[in-house]
C-alpha cells in the first residue's frame, strides 16, 4: 500500500510518500509545496490544488493521511490554515483516495512515543524509521510522520479484523 502523508499549510504544505508492506515501511519520496505569500488567497489555493493533483497523478497512492488543524492564538491564521487543509483533503478525495485524518498529538505519540514531542524529535524518529530518506524539511518530516501513523493504524485495523 502506498500512503501519501500531508501536513497542510497555506505557505508550505509538506508531503511524503511511503510504502507499507505489513509492518515494513519504506520511503518513496517527500517534498514541500510552497505558495507565493504575495499572491491572493484564491490563487494560493489554486496553486496548492494543482501541485497536489499533479503529485497524486504521478505517484498513484492508495491512501492519504492528513494532519488535522490545531487552533492557534491567531484566528485569521487558523482560518487560512483550515482553507488550505480543505484543499488538501479535497485533492485526495477527488482522486478517490481513502483519507485518514489525525491529530498532531496522535501523530507525535505514534512516531515518537509522546504527544508533546518537538519537531526535531519527530524529524529524528522519521529518519530512523525510514533509513536513507533525505527529508526535505520539517514540513516533509511531519507529512512522513502522518503517513507512518496511518500505516500503523491501518495495520492494527487489519489485524483486529482478522480476529473477527
Beta bridge partners of 13: 33
Tell me: domain 2-162, CATH 3.30.420.10, correct?
A: yes
- What nine digits make up the cell of 68? 488535522
End-to-end distance of the chain based on CA atoms, in angstroms? 22
* Residues forming the active site: 7, 67, 139
Q: Is the pTM of this model over 0.85?
A: yes
130, 27 Cβ separation under 8 angstroms: yes
Q: Report the candidate in 127, 142, 155 with the shortest Cα–Cα distance to residue 8.
A: 142
What pLDDT does 70 receive?
A: 72
28, 17 Cβ separation under 8 angstroms: yes
The answer to whether residue 8 scores a pLDDT higher than 70 is yes
Cite the DSSP H helix spans in the chain.
Answer: 41-59, 75-94, 104-111, 119-129, 138-162
Q: What are the E-state strand segments in 8-156? A: 12-21, 24-34, 63-67, 98-102
What pLDDT does 155 receive?
A: 65
- Using one digit for the tens of pLDDT, what is the confidence trace for 23-79? 899 999 999 999 999 999 999 999 999 999 999 999 999 999 999 977 677 888 888
- Top-confidence residue, 80 or 143: 143
**Domain residue spans in the chain?**
2-162
- Using one digit for the tens of pLDDT, what is the confidence trace for 95-136? 999 999 999 999 999 999 989 999 999 999 999 999 999 999
- What nine digits make up the cell of 105? 498529538
Q: How far is CA 142 from CA 6, 38, 96, 149, 159, in A?
A: 8, 25, 23, 10, 26
Amino acid at each position: 500500500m502506498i500512503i501519501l502523508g500531508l501536513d497542510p499549510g497555506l505557505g508550505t504544505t509538506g508531503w511524503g510518500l511511503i510504502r507499507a508492506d505489513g509492518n515494513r515501511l519504506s520511503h518513496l519520496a517527500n517534498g514541500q509545496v510552497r505558495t507565493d505569500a504575495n499572491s491572493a488567497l484564491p490563487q494560493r489555493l489554486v496553486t496548492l490544488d494543482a501541485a497536489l493533483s499533479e503529485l497524486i497523478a504521478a505517484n498513484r497512492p492508495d491512501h492519504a493521511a492528513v494532519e488535522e488543524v490545531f487552533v492557534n492564538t491567531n484566528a485569521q491564521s487558523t482560518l487560512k490554515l483550515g482553507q488550505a487543509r480543505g484543499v488538501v483533503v479535497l485533492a485526495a478525495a477527488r482522486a478517490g483516495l481513502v483519507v485518514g485524518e489525525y491529530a498532531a498529538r496522535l501523530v507525535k505519540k505514534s512516531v515518537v512515543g509522546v504527544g508533546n514531542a518537538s519537531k526535531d524529535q519527530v524529524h529524528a524518529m522519521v529518519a530512523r524509521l525510514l533509513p536513507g530518506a533525505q527529508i526535505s524539511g520539517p514540513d516533509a518530516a511531519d507529512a512522513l510522520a502522518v503517513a507512518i501513523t496511518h500505516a500503523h493504524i491501518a495495520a492494527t485495523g487489519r489485524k483486529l479484523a482478522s480476529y473477527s
